[in-house]
Each structure stands twice: as C-alpha cells, then as structure tokens.
C-alpha cells in the first residue's frame, strides 16, 4: 500500500519537535464547512491562516478516520479512509499541503489499542475458526458460570466508560475484552500479525505526508500475561482496569519494534498518551537512546484534583504547592534524559481557565494568560488545545440532556441507578465532563459563534458573544495576543527551549515562581496563581534590577502581585 504524494518542502531537522508548539484540533468541534452542525476537514483548512497567525508549528488532529462515532472517532472502523462526517482523503491531502505550505506540520491520532467493533478485522475475528480470531482478546465465561450471566465475565475489570470490560458475543459463545466502550474491542498486540498490520498502516500515513503520531493509550497495548481479577473495591462492582492492565511486560519491546518498523530515520514527532504512567516510566520511554517515543502525556497533574484512589468525579481541592510539586517532579525527572510534553487541557479534560484558573469575569483573561505563561515557560513541548488561546471556558451545562459524551452519560445513569443524587452528579459533570472541552470553537459573535450555519452537534457556549477568536485577534491585549508572544519567545530565546528548570517558593500557596538557566541567560517567571493579591516574600526571588521584562499581564507596579499577575524577566542576556 504505497502512495505517491509530493508535498511542499517540509523539512524535519533533528529534534525540531523540542522547539515546537503543538495545537490540538478536535475536528467535530472546530469548524463546520457544510452546515451539518459537525466540524469537518474543509472547515479546518479554511482556518490554517488563523493557526499560522497564532504561530503554532504543529497541528495534532484528533481522529477523522472511518468510524461509527460511538466515542467520537476513537473507535475506528477503517484506518486508511476518512469518515464521511469529516470529508474525504482528498480533503485531508489538501489540509496536509496547506499546513506544509505554511511551514506547519500535522500529527495524526493513532488509536491502536483498540478498533471499532465495526472494523472488518473484528467482524472476521468473531468467527471462532477465523485466522483473525487471535487478533482480539477472546475468553470463555468464568469457570462455573453460565456464559452471558451476571458474574460470568472472565475478570472483574471495570471499563473506562462504565460496566465490565468484557462483552459476551452470542455468535461465538465467548467474551471479548474492551477497556473502553463495548464498541471498542482491544486488539491483541501479542499477535505479530496485528503489529505488522499496524506498522503497515502507519507507514502508509507517513508516505501520505504526516509528520508524526499522538498515540492513544499506548501503554495499554501490552497486557499482563495472565488476565486475572483486580483488587476488590468496597462499594464498587468492578475493579478499575487501568491499574490491572497498564504498562504490561512487553510495552518497551513493542515500542522499540514500532520504532524500527516505522519511526527510525524520519524525524517524526511522537507522543504517547499514557494513563497511569510515572515519571520513571516516561524516562524510559522518552530516552532517545532507547528508540521508543519522543514524549508522553502524563495524567498525574490532571488527577490531583480528584480523591486519590477515587474516580475522576470524586472532586477535591488542589492546593498550589501540590500542583507545583508534581510539575517539578516531572521537570526534574526528565531534566537530563528524555523530554516533557506540557499541557493543561485537551479533548478529554475540562477547560484550563475553568479548572486551574478563574473563569469569572474579573479574572478570566489574566488567569488564562498566566496559565499560558507558566506552562510555556516550563521545559518541554507545549500543547495548546483549541480555544485555550482565547480563554474558552467550561460549558456550564445544567441538565444531563445537554451532555453527549458516552463517558459522562454512562456514568450519570449508572450512578443514578446506584442511588446517587442527580444534582450531585450534575455538579461533578459540570466540573469534569469531557464535553466541557468539546463545545464548538467560538470564531465570532455571529450565529452559532461562526462554527456552523446549521444546528451544532453540541450546544455552543452562550458566552461566545464576548469570547471569540475574531474579538481576540482584534485586541492586542487578548489571550490570543499573549499566546502569540509566548510562542515567539520560544523562537527567539534558546533558554526557553533548553534552559534548566528550578522551582522557587515551593510551599507558597499563591505564587508560582521558577527560573530557567542556559549558559549566561536566566529567565525568572513569577506568577500569582490566585484571585487575591499575593505578597512576594522579601529577598525570596533573584534580583530583577537591570532585567528585561519580556512579557507581563499587567504594567509593573510596586506592592503585591495583583490577582493572576505574571511576569517573565530575562535576568542576564546570552553572551
């Protein structure tokens, strides 16, 4: 399966991805070109100049492949075709060329831990005597249990989207494993034929001009040799599966093999999404000498505001020192070996300004700017999620009918059936539902925020009238303008890319301060991560006399830092 596609000169020098900024597009919510209420690829192509103006280097495109859309495309039924929802392969070729012509690159979302149950591979695998039977995880009913009855599942694992991870298949009389929805059966990576088919598909996309891959739950592809019950959790019918499955014994072997078969010698950008990964695992995976991946997405900092050991819906307050400590652990852990990805949000996480900032009118803009400053001045590759650059907020849905995401909807109805109060559930959904990040991009203050001429698949946030890209681009003091400047700083100051990180005032409850040092250049970042004034303890920070103020949310003034005030100082210029 080779294709002859010539693209505009698209150089990929060594380590180019270390100085890049990546912009994530969730295609169904980005821009709708044909009025069907769902974003599509031509809609994205119509916005490439917006992306170029923001200054991002790479676009990470969430899945646009053929899919029944059970999990909004993370359930793929054909890896080498485009879902009609989003357009055609030709539309994608046009987008790739348009990005390359503007010096930008494209990363595809690689979802290969599982396929859709409507993929031809799975449909073949359902035949017990099929040569593809072993392409997925099939198991008989638990011994002593009647197949298809409660408790007959092969293990007690809980699926990420509620219920058991095992679905009984009448046709073949066995259960198949699905760590996510029952329409997302897990591929059996132990089978070399599966791996070969995945690598062939990846090479087909590389030949088509893509510049890398974001790898969905890639640390789940290696499962334990024995599939056995996980620990019983009091009050819960099933045992969380990720802990039982993640980071299996052959993970590094498979990533190494993928490197040899697809990635070697092409300077692609690769980032592995790894729920449950530790910084120690990330050191192994991102150590260039080990030939695995460039970066991983950690879930540690986006799990700190949930009760430890609980579900994402069990909320708890997150003191700033706890957040600083975790980000520091990853900075220190990957300071000399490997590389960090840097993100506050994505299509699975609530909006950054609502979660880590303050989305109330007096503070939304400055907190969005300060979140950007603190993240982009860390060491690593920053990821901007669509709308973050204009300070888009959570959806503020008030009824379950507003929600579309199967994770949220399944959780709600399962919890109600177990006796939880609807109003409590709606409160936690309003804070943590993935739909918070999936409301349509707010382009301007016209009908449906300029996202569609039709009825949007998910309600547009009514605050689009004030919060939209057109207004932001016309305002030199907007969050958009601030993100443009942050991205430019990365281009002009090597210390932003390669400077050593050192956290200051680790215990301070309001102030987030750190330095970056490279040769004779030193940056000082100081931020008030709160909605109250914050006093900087005398003598606690390096002297900024003679420093160059590179970027600030406020005009400097004596006295305490104002709410969500941040500053980036260049203390000593490079010789």
Q: How far apart are CA 454 and CA 529, in angstroms?
A: 39
Q: How far apart are CA 74 and CA 83, in angstroms?
A: 12
Smaller CB distance to ligand TEU: residue 184 or 567?
A: 184
Identify the helix (H) or strand (E) that includes residue 105: strand 105-110
Task: Find the shortest distance in angstroms from Cβ 158 to ligand TEU.
Answer: 12
> Is residue 315 a contact partner of residue 294, using CB atoms and an 8 Å limit?
no
Smaller CB distance to ligand TEU: residue 74 or 397?
A: 74
Smaller CB distance to ligand TEU: residue 65 or 512?
A: 65
> Is residue 334 a contact partner of residue 286, using CB atoms and an 8 Å limit?
yes
- For the four alpha carbons of 545, 551, 555 and 561, in that order, the dihedral sign comes to negative
Q: How far apart are CA 43 and CA 451, in angstroms?
A: 9
Task: Find the shortest distance in angstroms from Cβ 216 to ligand TEU.
Answer: 5
Q: Which residues contact 25 (CB under 8 A, 6 or more apart)?
A: 44, 59, 60, 61, 62, 386
Smaller CB distance to ligand TEU: residue 179 or 513?
A: 179
71 is catalytic: no
> Is residue 359 a contact partner of residue 351, using CB atoms and an 8 Å limit?
yes
- Closest listed residue to residue 474, CA positions, set 441, 437, 443, 439: 443
Smaller CB distance to ligand TEU: residue 50 or 343?
A: 343
Beta-strand (E) ranges in 88-148?
105-110, 138-139
Smaller CB distance to ligand TEU: residue 347 or 402?
A: 347
300 is catalytic: no
The residues that touch ligand TEU, with contacts defined as CB under 6 A, are: 71, 74, 111, 160, 180, 216-217, 273, 275, 312, 347-348, 407, 434
> Is residue 517 a contact partner of residue 564, using CB atoms and an 8 Å limit?
no
Smaller CB distance to ligand TEU: residue 209 or 275?
A: 275
Residue that the structure tokens 């601030």 belong to: 482
Task: Find the shortest distance in angstroms from Cβ 179 to ligand TEU.
Answer: 8
| Candidates 83, 216, 359, 405; catalytic one | 216
> Is residue 239 a contact partner of residue 227, using CB atoms and an 8 Å limit?
no
Task: Find the shortest distance in angstroms from Cβ 66 to ligand TEU.
Answer: 15
CA 296 to chain centre: 10
For 555, list phi and psi in degrees, rounded to 5. Answer: -65, 130
Q: How far apart are CA 294 and CA 15, in angstroms?
A: 9
> Is residue 117 a contact partner of residue 138, using CB atoms and an 8 Å limit?
no
Q: Which residues contact 14 (CB under 8 A, 6 or more apart)?
A: 267
* DSSP letter (8 states) at residue 522: E
| Candidates 57, 117, 211, 273; catalytic one | 273
Q: Which residues are catalytic?
A: 216, 273
């Amino acid at each position: 399966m080779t294709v002859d596609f010539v693209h505009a000169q698209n150089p990929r020098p060594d380590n180019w991805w270390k100085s890049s900024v990546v912009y994530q597009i969730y295609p169904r919510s980005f821009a709708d070109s044909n009025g069907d209420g769902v974003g599509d690829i031509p809609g994205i192509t119509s916005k490439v100049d917006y992306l170029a103006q923001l200054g991002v280097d790479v676009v990470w495109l969430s899945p646009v492949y053929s899919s029944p859309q059970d999990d909004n495309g993370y359930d793929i039924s054909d890896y080498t075709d485009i879902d009609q929802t989003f357009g055609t392969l030709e539309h994608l070729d046009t987008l790739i060329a348009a990005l390359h012509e503007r010096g930008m690159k494209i990363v595809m979302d690689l979802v290969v831990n599982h396929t859709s149950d409507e993929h031809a591979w799975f449909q073949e695998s359902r035949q017990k005597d099929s040569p593809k039977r072993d392409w997925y995880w099939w198991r008989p009913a638990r011994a002593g249990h009647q197949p298809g009855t409660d408790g007959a599942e092969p293990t007690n694992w809980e699926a990420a989207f509620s219920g058991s991870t095992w679905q009984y298949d009448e046709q073949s009389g066995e259960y198949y494993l699905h760590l996510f929805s029952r329409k997302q059966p897990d591929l059996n990576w132990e089978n070399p034929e599966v791996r070969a088919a995945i690598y062939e598909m990846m090479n087909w996309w590389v030949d088509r001009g893509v510049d890398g891959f974001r790898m969905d739950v890639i640390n789940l592809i290696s499962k334990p040799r024995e599939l056995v019950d996980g620990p019983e959790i009091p009050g819960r019918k099933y045992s969380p599966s990720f802990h039982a499955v993640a980071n299996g014994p052959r993970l590094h072997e498979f990533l190494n093999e993928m490197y040899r078969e697809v990635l070697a010698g092409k300077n692609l950008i690769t980032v592995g999404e790894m729920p449950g990964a530790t910084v120690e695992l990330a050191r192994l995976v991102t150590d260039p000498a080990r030939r695995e991946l460039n970066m991983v997405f950690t879930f540690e900092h986006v799990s700190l505001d949930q009760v430890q050991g609980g579900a994402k819906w069990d909320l708890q307050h997150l003191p700033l020192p706890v957040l600083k400590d975790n980000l520091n652990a990853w900075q220190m852990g990957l300071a000399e070996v490997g590389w960090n990805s840097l993100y506050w949000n994505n299509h699975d996480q609530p909006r950054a300004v609502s979660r880590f900032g303050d989305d109330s009118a007096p503070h939304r803009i400055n907190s969005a700017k300060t979140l950007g400053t603190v993240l982009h001045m860390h060491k690593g590759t920053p990821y901007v999620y669509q709308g973050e650059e204009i300070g888009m907020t959570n959806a503020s849905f008030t009824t379950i009918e507003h929600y579309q995401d199967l994770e949220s909807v399944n959780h709600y109805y399962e919890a109600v059936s177990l006796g939880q109060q609807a109003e409590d559930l709606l409160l936690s959904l309003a804070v943590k539902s993935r739909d918070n990040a999936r409301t349509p991009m707010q382009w301007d203050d016209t009908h449906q925020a300029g996202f569609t001429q039709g009825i949007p698949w998910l309600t547009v946030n009514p605050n689009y009238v004030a919060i939209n890209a057109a207004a932001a681009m016309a305002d030199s003091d907007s969050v958009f303008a601030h993100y443009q400047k942050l991205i430019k700083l990365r281009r002009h100051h090597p210390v932003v890319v390669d400077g050593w990180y050192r956290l200051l005032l680790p215990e301070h409850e309001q102030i987030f301060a750190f330095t970056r040092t490279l040769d004779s250049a030193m940056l000082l970042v100081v931020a008030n991560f709160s909605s109250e004034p914050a006093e900087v303890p005398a003598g606690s920070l390096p002297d900024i006399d003679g420093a160059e103020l590179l970027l600030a949310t406020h005009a400097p003034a004596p006295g305490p830092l104002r709410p969500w005030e941040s500053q980036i100082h260049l203390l000593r210029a490079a010789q």
